[in-house]
Amino acid sequence: MPRVASRKRRAWKRAAMTDVVTLVTGTRKGIGRFLAEHYVAQGHIVYGCSRQASDLVADNYTHFCLDVADERAVRRMMSHLRRATGRLDHLVNNAGVAAMNHAMLTPLSTVRSILDTNVTGTFLVCREAAKLMKAESYGRIVNFISVAAPLHVEGEAIYAASKSAVQTLTQILARELAGFGITVNAVGPTPTMTDLIRSVPQDRIDRLLASQAIARLGNFDDIVNVVDFFLKRESGFVTAQSLYLGGVC
Ligand SMILES: NC(=O)c1ccc[n+]([C@@H]2O[C@H](COP(=O)([O-])OP(=O)(O)OC[C@H]3O[C@@H](n4cnc5c(N)ncnc54)[C@H](OP(=O)(O)O)[C@@H]3O)[C@@H](O)[C@H]2O)c1
The per-residue pLDDT for range 134-193, each reduced to its tens digit, is 999 999 999 999 999 999 999 999 999 999 999 999 999 999 999 999 999 999 999 999
Q: Is residue 117 part of a domain?
A: yes
Containing structural domain, residue 116 = 6-244
The CB of 200 under 6 Å from ligand 1? The reply is no
Nearest CA to ligand 1 atom 29: 95
Ligand 1 atom closest to 147 (CA): 6
> To the nearest whole percent, how much of the chain has pLDDT over 70?
94
Q: Which residues are catalytically annotated? A: 159
Ligand 1 atom closest to 192 (CA): 3
Residue type, 149: A
Report pLDDT for 65. Answer: 98
Mutate to test the pocket of ligand 1, among 27, 54, 66, 97 (most ligand atoms within 8 A of CB): 97
Q: Is residue 127 part of a domain?
A: yes
Q: Is residue 134 part of a domain?
A: yes
Report pLDDT for 16. Answer: 76
CA of 199 to the centre of ligand 1 (A): 14
- The enclosing H or E element of 65 equals strand 61-65
Q: Is residue 1 part of a domain?
A: no
pLDDT grade for 1, boundaries at 50, 70 and 90:
very low
Q: Is residue 31 part of a domain?
A: yes
Q: Is residue 77 part of a domain?
A: yes
In 3D space, the residue among 156, 82, 71, 62 whose CA is nearest the CA of residue 114 turns out to be: 156
In 3D space, the residue among 38, 30, 175, 2 whose CA is nearest the CA of residue 97 turns out to be: 30
- Here the CATH number for the domain that contains residue 27 is 3.40.50.720
Is the C-alpha dihedral spanning 40, 195, 225, 136 positive or negative? negative
CA of 95 to the centre of ligand 1 (A): 4
pLDDT grade for 8, boundaries at 50, 70 and 90:
very low
Q: Is residue 205 part of a domain?
A: yes
Residue 82 and residue 85: Cα distance in Å, rounded? 6
Q: How does 131-148 read in b/e, with b if 16+ C-beta sit within 10 Å?
A: ebbbebebbbbbbbbbbb
- Number of domains observed in the structure of the chain: 1
The CB of 50 under 6 Å from ligand 1? The reply is yes
Nearest CA to ligand 1 atom 25: 26
17-63 pLDDT per residue, tens: 789 999 999 999 999 999 999 999 999 999 999 999 999 999 999 99
Question: Is residue 62 helix, strand or coil?
Answer: strand
CA of 14 to the centre of ligand 1 (A): 30
Q: Residue 126 — φ and ψ, nearest 5°? A: -60, -50
Report pLDDT for 14. Answer: 62
Q: Is residue 249 part of a domain?
A: no
The CB of 52 under 6 Å from ligand 1? The reply is yes
- Give the pTM: 0.95
